[in-house]
Every structure is written in structure tokens, then in C-alpha cells.
């Protein structure tokens, strides 16, 4: 599914913006994040180190804002019937994973962000940190390390680092 979304975005932006900006924008998007950016970077043949830096920065850029402002954003969105369902669903997802994260504290949040599976990543980790009242100063470095680890995993898969 991630590959299909990445292909669609790449086709839409092809020849309109530089390839590096495409990788950045894909990495900036929820769900796609660094994993989508690395796939796109490989398909566009962006050199590995450049791609990794672009995707990491793109993935991390919204994280502080999510941690700091998501509660206020949710409060505002609840005023609209359409968005209230989405907010409720996101809060339920956080509640579902709460026990796992809180049991292992920092390690739980780190693993949740670091393992590049659908529904995990920096965006979801930041949402979880905010809704579970994990302090900004504690959450941001944990999420940054988790995104870094996820980036390394996706790099190994997309750029074939472990292939001989």
C-alpha cells in the first residue's frame, strides 16, 4: 500500500518539483513518513546519504508541533462532526497501545516508533506521547532516535545495504 501511494505522489509531482523535494514531502506525510521517502528516493536514484538526510528531516519536522499542539488541534476539530470521528479513532488507537508503551516507558515509545510497520512511526509516536502526557523534553529525543532507527531499517531494505 505504501508503495502505491508513493508511486501516485511521484507521478503527480514528476517534472514539477525537484526529486529531493518529492522525497522530503513524502517523508513529511503521516503514514508514509521516512519509509515512503526512502522508497521514493531509491526509485528516483537519489544517492543514499542525501536521501537519508532528506527523509529524516522531512519525517522529524512535524514531530515537535504534534507533541506540543495536537491536544489543541483535536479540541478544535471536535467542533466538526466529520472530524470528531477521526479524532475519536486516533484517540482509541492511542488507548489501545497505551499499556505497551507505558509498561516499557521510554523503551516502549522507542520501539513503537522504530519498527517500520503500518500504524507506527514518528507521527503516531508523537501523538501517543502527547495524549499520554509524556513531557516534550523526554518524548522528542526518544522519537528522534526511533525515526533514526526506522530510517536505517528502511535504508537497508530499499538501498540493499545488507545484500551481497
Per-residue pLDDT of 70-125, as tens digits, reads: 999 999 999 999 999 889 988 888 888 777 777 777 888 999 899 988 778 999 89
The residue behind cell 514528476 is 14
Q: What is the DSSP letter of 17?
A: S
Helix (H, G, I), strand (E, B) or coil at 75: helix
Q: For 147-156, write each residue's pLDDT tens digit.
A: 999 999 988 8
H-helix or E-strand containing 154? helix 136-158
Within a 10 A sphere around the Cβ of 43, how many other Cβ atoms? 16
* Banded pLDDT at 126 (limits 50, 70, 90): very high
Q: 112 with 125: CB under 8 angstroms? A: yes
Q: Evaluate whether 6 touches 35 at the Cβ level (below 8 Å).
A: no
For the entire predicted model, the pTM comes to 0.87
% pLDDT > 90, the chain? 62
Amino acid at each position: 500500500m505504501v508503495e502505491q501511494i508513493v508511486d501516485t505522489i511521484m507521478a503527480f509531482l514528476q517534472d514539477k518539483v525537484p526529486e529531493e523535494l518529492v522525497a522530503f514531502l513524502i517523508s513529511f506525510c503521516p503514514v508514509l513518513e521516512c519509509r515512503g521517502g526512502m522508497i521514493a528516493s531509491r526509485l528516483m536514484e537519489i544517492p543514499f546519504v542525501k536521501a537519508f538526510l532528506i527523509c529524516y528531516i522531512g519525517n522529524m519536522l512535524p514531530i515537535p508541533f504534534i507533541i506540543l499542539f495536537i491536544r489543541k488541534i483535536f479540541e478544535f476539530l471536535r467542533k466538526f462532526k466529520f472530524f470528531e470521528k477521526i479524532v475519536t479513532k486516533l484517540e482509541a488507537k492511542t488507548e489501545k497501545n497505551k499499556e505497551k508503551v507505558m509498561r516499557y516507558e521510554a523503551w516502549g515509545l522507542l520501539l513503537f516508533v522504530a519498527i517500520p510497520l503500518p500504524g507506527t512511526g514518528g507521527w503516531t509516536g508523537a501523538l501517543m506521547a502527547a495524549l499520554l502526557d509524556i513531557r516534550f523534553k523526554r518524548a522528542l529525543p526518544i522519537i528522534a532516535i526511533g525515526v533514526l532507527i526506522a530510517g536505517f531499517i528502511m535504508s537497508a531494505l530499499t538501498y540493499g545495504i545488507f545484500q551481497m
